[in-house]
């Protein structure tokens, strides 16, 4: 699906305030397919907040954020179909196994074909797919979140501290996936980690805005 | 949208079967309350009016105990992001509404059977009694669902639940109690037509309002 559609993400004067406290002001960017950007800035500068706004999980206080697919604006309600999202704020269901979590997510998305097995292999969790999430280690949970984010083959991959808790092998899984996405889609990583930053071709530094 | 709603509802049932968040609290409550009624009544017979009132009081507190869990538990565990990232607001509210309604029907069926067994209640018009209870149940679960959604966003969670839902539910409860009472005494359709009409229109209004309101509260 990625090769055909032209996708464009555009932010104009994006500003977020919590109550009256301004987190960031007038963020502008335009991303088209085959681009990647790292969102950086000190702790509390609003990286996670910005990435949540892009994922349509929060709304901005002012400014415009729009997603265009083949030149047509994508309606807010269906932006979720375009987005894959990994974040420390995301929790999958503890009472289900790794495989069940992904199958349930596909069902809720209304995706008919089920590629959870291949995604589980990709993140190295296939052997442990029948274990409850409750007993997963933190690195295994992180891997499952990554599997969840790419399950539906999204156009835009949003990663907030994607390699936290991962071992070397896990980091290379993220490297491979990130490399694949920036080749023909959009990749955005919110991070302070030098390695994660190095996966992206450009940078938005929230300290400097 | 409907397929996605069903998937959400199925997920909730599987989750409920594994965790028994709602069911355990509900069963305990129902058994305790009905036993207390039994012990305090002894051999005394209650009037139809009293019976109807008691049945709906049990139903109200039992459901406000159990149903508030649905949204609150997703919000507390941080899993509501899974839903937000995988579907639209209207699929979520529809899925939760179906789940809550089915759950409320099961609970209420259980409450009423138990109540009848313990108090030896005779219902003269069983068909219309069932209809009254069913319509009341439908309205109740609709109100409980949207209030649970509102509360999951508020700070104090569970304690607010009965407080907020009671005034909203009052008109529905009054209609349910009176048609339950009348059908226990054997009333016909014409005697409770007003109540039935009230319950149906109440439920339609609540469901419509829920869809509109939920779109607004679901994203932040
Ligand atoms: N719901 C909220 N209500 C009020 N303030 C909030 C809320 N969420 C975040 N904030 C504030 O917004 C600011 C930015 O938070 P955010 O999590 O986006 O930072 P971050 O750049 O991701 O930090 P880190 O590097 O620690 O991950 C912080 O000062 C935080 O306290
Ligand atoms: Mg952060």
pLDDT tens, B25-81? Answer: 788 888 899 889 888 888 788 899 999 999 999 998 888 877 777 788 888 888 999
Pick the CATH number of A7-205 from 3.90.1300.10, 3.30.420.40, 3.40.50.300, 3.90.79.10: 3.40.50.300
Total domains in the fold of chain B: 1
- Comparing C-alpha atoms, which of A145, A206, A146 is closest to residue A181? A146
Centroid of ligand 2 to alpha carbon of B29 (angstroms): 42
Give pLDDT tens digits for A8-67.
999 999 999 999 999 999 999 999 999 999 999 999 999 999 999 999 999 999 999 999
DSSP state of B158: G
Backbone angles phi, psi at B180, to 5 degrees: -65, -45
Q: What are the structure tokens assigned to B179, written together?
A: 């048609």
3-state secondary structure of B58: helix
Burial class (CB in 10 A: 0-12, 13-18, 19+), B109: middle
Residue B158 has a pLDDT of 56
B134 touches A at CB < 8 Å: no
Residue B23 has a pLDDT of 83
Q: Where are the domains of chain A?
A: 7-205
Give pLDDT tens digits for A167-177.
999 999 999 99
Taking a C-beta distance cutoff of 8 angstroms, is the pair A187, A163 a contact? no
For residue B42, is it left (φ>0), alpha (ψ between -120 and 50) or beta? left
**Is the C-beta atom of A47 inside 6 A of ligand 1?**
yes
Burial class (CB in 10 A: 0-12, 13-18, 19+), A71: exposed
CB pairs under 8 A between A and B: 74
Taking the C-alpha atoms of residue A202 and residue A29, their distance in angstroms, rounded to an integer, is 11
Domain with B211, as residue range(s), is 2-218
Taking the C-alpha atoms of residue A120 and residue B150, their distance in angstroms, rounded to an integer, is 36
% of chain B at pLDDT higher than 90? 61
Residue A125 has a pLDDT of 97
**Mean pLDDT (whole number) for B112-132:** 93
Question: Does A105 contact B86 at a Cβ distance shorter than 8 Å?
Answer: yes
Query: What is the distance between the terminal CA atoms of chain A, rounded to a whole angstrom?
Result: 35
DSSP state of A5: S
A116 touches B at CB < 8 Å: no
Taking a C-beta distance cutoff of 8 angstroms, is the pair A170, A124 a contact? yes
Closest atom of ligand 1 relative to the A49 alpha carbon: 18
Taking the C-alpha atoms of residue A171 and residue A163, their distance in angstroms, rounded to an integer, is 6
Q: What are the structure tokens assigned to B74, written together?
A: 């997703």
| Cβ neighbours of residue B151 closer than 8 Å, sequence gap 6 or more | B68, B71, B72, B157, B158, B160, B161, B164
A85 touches B at CB < 8 Å: yes
Orientation angle between helical segments A138-150 and A98-109, nearest 10 degrees: 30
Helices (H) and strands (E) in chain B, counts: 9, 0
Give pLDDT tens digits for A134-166.
999 999 999 999 999 999 999 999 999 999 999
Q: Which residue among A17, A19, A23 is best mutated to probe the pocket of ligand 1, counting the most ligand atoms within 8 A of its Cβ?
A: A23
Query: What is the distance between the terminal CA atoms of chain B, rounded to a whole angstrom?
Result: 21
Strand partners, A83: A156
Centroid of ligand 2 to alpha carbon of A204 (angstroms): 14
Give pLDDT tens digits for B128-179.
999 999 999 999 999 999 988 888 877 655 566 667 778 889 999 999 999 9
Taking the C-alpha atoms of residue A113 and residue A111, their distance in angstroms, rounded to an integer, is 6
């Amino acid at each position: 699906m990625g090769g055909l559609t032209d996708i464009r993400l555009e932010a104009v004067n994006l500003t977020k305030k919590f109550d009256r406290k301004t987190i960031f002001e007038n963020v502008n960017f335009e991303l088209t397919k085959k681009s990647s950007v790292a969102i950086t800035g000190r702790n509390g500068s609003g990286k996670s907040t910005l990435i949540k706004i892009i994922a349509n999980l929060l709304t901005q206080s002012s400014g415009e954020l729009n997603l265009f697919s083949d030149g047509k604006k994508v309606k807010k309600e269906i932006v979720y179909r375009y987005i894959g999202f990994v974040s420390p704020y995301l929790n999958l269901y503890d009472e289900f196994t790794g495989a069940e979590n992904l199958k349930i997510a596909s069902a809720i998305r209304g995706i008919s074909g089920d590629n959870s097995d291949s995604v589980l292999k990709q993140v190295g969790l296939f052997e442990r797919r029948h274990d409850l999430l409750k007993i997963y280690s933190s690195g295994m949970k992180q891997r499952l979140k990554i599997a969840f984010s790419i399950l539906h083959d999204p156009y835009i991959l949003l990663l907030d501290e994607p390699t936290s808790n991962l071992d070397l092998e896990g980091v290379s899984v993220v490297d491979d996936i990130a490399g694949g996405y920036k080749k023909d889609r959009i990749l955005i990583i919110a991070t302070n980690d030098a390695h994660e930053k190095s996966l992206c071709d450009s940078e938005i530094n929230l300290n400097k805005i | 949208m409907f397929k996605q709603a069903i998937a959400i509802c199925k997920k909730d049932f599987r989750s409920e079967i594994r965790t028994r968040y709602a069911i355990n609290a509900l069963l305990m409550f129902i058994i305790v309350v009905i036993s207390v009624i039994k012990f305090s009544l002894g051999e005394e017979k209650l009037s139809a009016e009293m019976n109807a009132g008691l049945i709906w009081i049990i139903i109200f507190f039992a459901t406000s105990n159990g149903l508030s869990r649905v949204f609150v538990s997703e919000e507390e565990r941080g899993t509501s992001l899974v839903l937000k990232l995988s579907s639209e607001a209207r699929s979520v509210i529809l899925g939760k509404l179906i789940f809550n309604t089915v759950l409320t029907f099961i609970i209420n069926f259980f409450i009423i059977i138990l109540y009848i067994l313990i108090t030896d209640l005779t219902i003269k018009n069983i068909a219309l009694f069932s209809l009254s209870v069913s319509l009341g149940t439908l309205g109740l679960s609709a109100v409980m669902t949207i209030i649970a959604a509102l509360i999951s966003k508020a700070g104090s969670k569970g304690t607010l639940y009965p407080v907020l839902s009671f005034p909203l539910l009052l008109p529905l409860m009054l209609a349910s109690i009176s048609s339950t009472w009348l059908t226990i005494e054997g009333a016909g359709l014409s005697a409770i037509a007003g109540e039935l009409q009230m319950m149906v229109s109440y439920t339609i209004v609540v469901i419509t309002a829920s869809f509109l309101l939920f779109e607004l509260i679901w994203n932040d």
